[in-house]
Amino acid sequence: MLTITVDDHNLRDMLARLQGRISDLTPAMRSIGEEMVERIKQRFASSTAPDGAKWQPNTPATIEAYLRKFGGTRKKDGSISKRGQRMAANKRPLIGETKALSTTIYYRADSSSVTIGSPMRYAAIHQFGGQAGRGRKVTIPARPYLPIDQHGRWIGEVDRQAVYQQIIEYILAE
């Protein structure tokens, strides 16, 4: 009679480690949050959406409102000064004087999810676009900076792959 003994001690240890890692993904969720916040900051710097599309430029009305906040942007005859022209040319979409939206992106991670957002009241209208202002008469174009649309679907593939990679690396880490 032949007896075969299988020593599955290493396999059981490995499966126990995997089970432990899968039951609490908090470290992976934190890594995902940190990476997504960095990617979002890059989007503000480059004025691009998660799918690589350029954000729509500022409207003339937005530029005008921006210039009104500063002295020296107009000549005596009312035309735009060289300083005003320079400021108008350098005014990027979604970047105001305080940079409030771009500097308040945060994440919150737990054992199974990560939430990414901004506390700014106007964050959603800039992400998804829509009607704003008194009487909802102003149309704000969507300038997505978060990697999802209004239905929770991914925008572009790069962020989704980065999230999957973070999870896989965490689960398989020794």
Is 63 inside a domain boundary?
no
- 65 with 150: CB under 8 angstroms? no
Residue 169 CB partners (closer than 8 Å, separation 6+): 28
Is 5 inside a domain boundary?
no
pLDDT value of residue 103: 94
Is 79 inside a domain boundary?
no
pLDDT value of residue 9: 85
Is 76 inside a domain boundary?
no
- 113 with 32: CB under 8 angstroms? no
For residue 19, give the 3-state DSSP assignment: helix
Point out which residues pair with 107 in neighbouring strands. Answer: 116
pLDDT value of residue 53: 96
Flag residues of the chain having pLDDT under 50: none
pLDDT value of residue 173: 83
Q: What is the pTM of this model?
A: 0.83
pLDDT value of residue 50: 96
Is 33 inside a domain boundary?
yes
Residue 148 CB partners (closer than 8 Å, separation 6+): 154, 155
Which residues form the domain of 100? 19-57+93-172
Residue 87 CB partners (closer than 8 Å, separation 6+): 66, 67, 70, 73
pLDDT value of residue 13: 85
Work out how many domains the chain is built from and give that number: 1
Is 68 inside a domain boundary?
no
pLDDT value of residue 56: 95
Is 147 inside a domain boundary?
yes
- Upper half-sphere CA count for residue 20 (Cβ side, 13 Å): 8
Pairwise CA distance, residues 113 & 30, whole Å: 9
Instruction: Report the candidate in 133, 159, 137, 164 with the shortest Cα–Cα distance to residue 148.
Output: 159
Pairwise CA distance, residues 86 & 79, whole Å: 13
**In this predicted model, what pLDDT tens digit does every residue of 112-154 receive, in sequence order?**
999 999 999 999 999 999 999 889 998 999 999 999 999 999 9
C-alpha radius of gyration, the chain, whole number = 24
pLDDT value of residue 133: 85
- 53 with 141: CB under 8 angstroms? no
